[in-house]
Amino acid sequence: MRTLTCLVLLLLAGSGAFAQKEKASGVNSLQYSEFIPVEPIEFYDNVEVADNEGNVDLKYIKSMDKRELLEYLTNETVLVSVAEVDPTGKMSFIPGRVSDKGMQYIVTMDYLKFATLEVKKEGDVAGEAAAGVGFRVILNISSRAKDINLSDIFSIGMAATDKKVYGSVRVEAIGLHDPEITSVIPLPSEISGASIQSVMQAITIIKYKIYDEKTRLNPQIVGVRGTKEGVTLQELREAVMKYHKLGKKNVATNKSAPRKK
């Protein structure tokens, strides 16, 4: 468990390497090198699954067993997004990872085991979505100082101890069903050295539980990124929701989907 803890700490501490290319909001064009977080959306679809002999077949995502799901979710990473919140409450994702004095930020740190999906707008590929499982740490930060590293959870904790920032932190498990996970998730709390330590303990257990045979996996769409010039975050969100609704509608006619009796 100690080795796993160290790995999680290194991932979250070093996750600033996943940089966004430009400032964007729901109005501005969106072209990012990394995914922008969205509220988890249920994933319905047929996906390609290979058996032990290398044969590939389409299978409904919710009828896949644990081995098949883990093999399908081939990507594993930590993604960090920093959003600046203006006095009117408008949120814009920014490329910078250090604070300015007197500003408010929402920092989202996702550990994901995921697969990448195409997102289409009017028939053309406009972006990609990440569908998977994992955990999300959300920090709502008000800064009293500049040059605080917002991509490093430890720097934020130290800044809170030094009264340079204040705010709240919470942890969310994504697409994981296990009573033990529910029991270890801390309640939302003020950012402090102690609360950051509590968060780290919880996510270490959550990461371990992904591979526990008793934990059920239910992949969620948790992030989007634009690949087509001029596409906006709002357009990608709308395309993902359309995809979600279509997938849910098709469950009734899906040959491999479980039928209600």
Q: Tell me, what amino acid is at 74? A: T
- Integer Rg of the chain from CA: 19
Q: Is the dihedral of CA 155, 160, 166, 169 positive or negative?
A: positive
Percent of the chain topping pLDDT 90:
42
How far is Cα 13 from Cα 25, in angstroms, rounded to an integer? 26
Q: Residue 214: how many CB atoms within 10 A of its CB?
A: 10
With contact defined as beta carbons under 8 Å apart, do 78 and 111 qualify? yes
Mean pLDDT of the residues in the chain: 82
Of 106, 109, 94, whose CA–CA distance to 152 is shortest? Answer: 109
- Tens-digit pLDDT profile for residues 18-70: 334 334 443 344 445 678 899 999 888 888 877 777 788 888 888 899 988 99
For residue 81, pLDDT beyond 70: yes
**Cα gap 76→59, rounded to integer Å:** 22
Place of tokens 């498990």: 173
Cα–Cα dist 61/49, whole Å: 10
- What pLDDT is attached to residue 231? 84
Helix and strand counts by DSSP (H, E) for the chain: 6, 12
What is the pLDDT, as a whole number, of residue 252? 53
Percent of the chain with pLDDT over 70: 81
- With cut-offs at 50, 70 and 90, classify the pLDDT of residue 11: very low
- pLDDT 10s digits, 117-169: 988 888 888 899 999 999 999 999 999 999 999 989 889 999 999 999 999 99
Parse the chain into domains and list their residue ranges.
2-253
